[in-house]
Amino acid sequence: MPPSALVTTLAALVLEPTVRARLQQLIEARFERQDAELMQAVEQALELVPGLLRGAVRRVLGL
Amino acid sequence: MSAAAEVEARRIAALLGVPAAELGYLRSRGASALARLRLAIASAGMERHRRSFERLARASALLPTALAARIAQEHLGPVLIAALAPFLPPARAALLGQRLEPGFLADVAVHLVPDRAAPLLAALPPELLSTTLQQLLARGEYAVMGTVVEQLPATTVTRLAAEIADPAELLAIAAYVGDKRCLRPVVDSFDDNAILQLLGCAAEGAAMSALIELTAVLEPLQQRRLRSLLATLPEPSRRAWGEAAPTAALA
C-alpha cells in the first residue's frame, strides 16, 4: 500500500480506475526493483573499497 | 499539452522504467500535478527503503570523501544519490557535493525531493549552488529550480536570483514556486530596473500569471512600489497588465 501522500496525489489526477490501478502496479514494481538495484549497485561499489575497510563497510550495511 | 508537462510525463516514465508512450494518459495533466506525482513517488520510495539508505549513509562516513564521490558517480547514479542525500549528515553531503562533477550534481538536483532536502540545501556552499544553478538554467530545468526555492534560506534565494540575468527565466522559475511569499525578499533585493524588466517581460506573455500570483502576496509597501513602476512602462505593457489582471494587486 503506497503512503498516504502518494495516494492523495494519485487521486488528484482523477484517472480512470483501470488506468489508476495500472499506474499503482507500475509504482509498486518500481519500488521492488529499486531494492534490487540498490543492492547490486552497493555490491559493485564495494569492489572499489580497499580490503580492511570493505569488511567494516559490509558490517555497517548488514551484508 | 505544455512542453513542461511533456518533460514531467517523460520523467515519471523514466522513474518507473517504462516507455513514455505507456503513460500517454498523463500528458493531459498539468506540469505541476505531474511534478507533484513524481516527487510523491520518489518520496514514497525513500520511505520504503529508509533502512537501506540509513545504512548506506553510515557506511559512507567510513570512506574517504574522494572514494565516496567516485562510488556515487560510477555506481550509485543520480537517482539513488538524490534519495540517499537527505539521510547523510548535511556537512558530509556538502563535502561530497564538492567532489562531484557539475553535470552529475545537476542530475541529482533533478531527482531531489525538495521537502526532504532542506537541511542539505542549507549546508551546501554558495559556489556549489551557483554552479548547479547555471547547469539547471542551461538545461531549462525551471520546475526543478522553482520547487526547491521554498526549501532554501531567504538569503540564498536572493543571491541566486541575482545570478539569473534573463527576466523570462526568473518568471519561468517563479511559476513553480508553491508559496510565493518566500519571494518577497527577492523583490526587495531587485533594483527598479530589474523590476521593470520583469513587469515588461510578463506583459509580453512570459508567465504573467506567476507574477500576478506573486504581487498578490507582496507586502503593501512592495505592491505600491510595483504599481508606481508599472505606471512608467510603455502604454502597450500597461494595457497588457490591465487586461490580464484588472482586479490584481497592481491594478
Domains along chain B? 140-251 (1.10.220)
Distance from CA of B232 to the nearest CA of A (A): 42
Interchain pair B40, A34: CB under 8 A: no
Find which of B55, B111, B113 to mutate to test the A interface (most A CBs within 10 Å of its CB).
Answer: B55
The interface pTM score, or ipTM, of the predicted complex is 0.84
What integer is the mean pLDDT of B226-243?
A: 89
What mean pLDDT do residues B198-210 have? 84
User: Which residue does chain B place closest to A2, by CA atoms?
Assistant: B44
Nearest residue in A to B61, CA atom? A57
B9 by Cβ neighbours in 10 Å (0-12 / 13-18 / 19+) ranks as buried
A3-42 pLDDT, tens digit per residue, is 788 888 888 888 889 999 999 999 999 988 888 888 888 8
pLDDT band at B30 (very low <50, low <70, confident <90, very high): confident
Interface probe with B: pick from A7, A9, A37, A39, most Cβ of B within 10 Å: A9
pLDDT-derived band at B249, boundaries 50, 70, 90: low
pLDDT above 50 (res A1): no
Give me chain B's average pLDDT, please.
Answer: 90
Residue of A nearest to B13 (CA): A26
Alpha-carbon distance values, B203 to B16, B121, B146, B174, B226 (Å):
39, 33, 21, 15, 14
Question: What average pLDDT score do residues B202-225 get?
Answer: 88
> Under a CB-based contact definition with an 8 Å cutoff, are residues B151 and B126 in contact?
no
In this prediction, residue B77 carries a pLDDT of 92
A vs B, Cβ pairs < 8 A, gives 91
Q: Where are the domains of chain A?
A: 4-61
**Residue indicated by cell numbers 514531467:** B8
Q: Chain A partners of B80 at a C-beta cutoff of 8 Å?
A: 37-38, 41
Closest CB to A60 among B25, B47, B58 = B58
Interface contact A45-B75, CB threshold 8 A: yes
B120-172 pLDDT, tens per residue?
Answer: 999 999 999 999 999 999 999 998 899 899 999 999 999 999 999 999 999 99
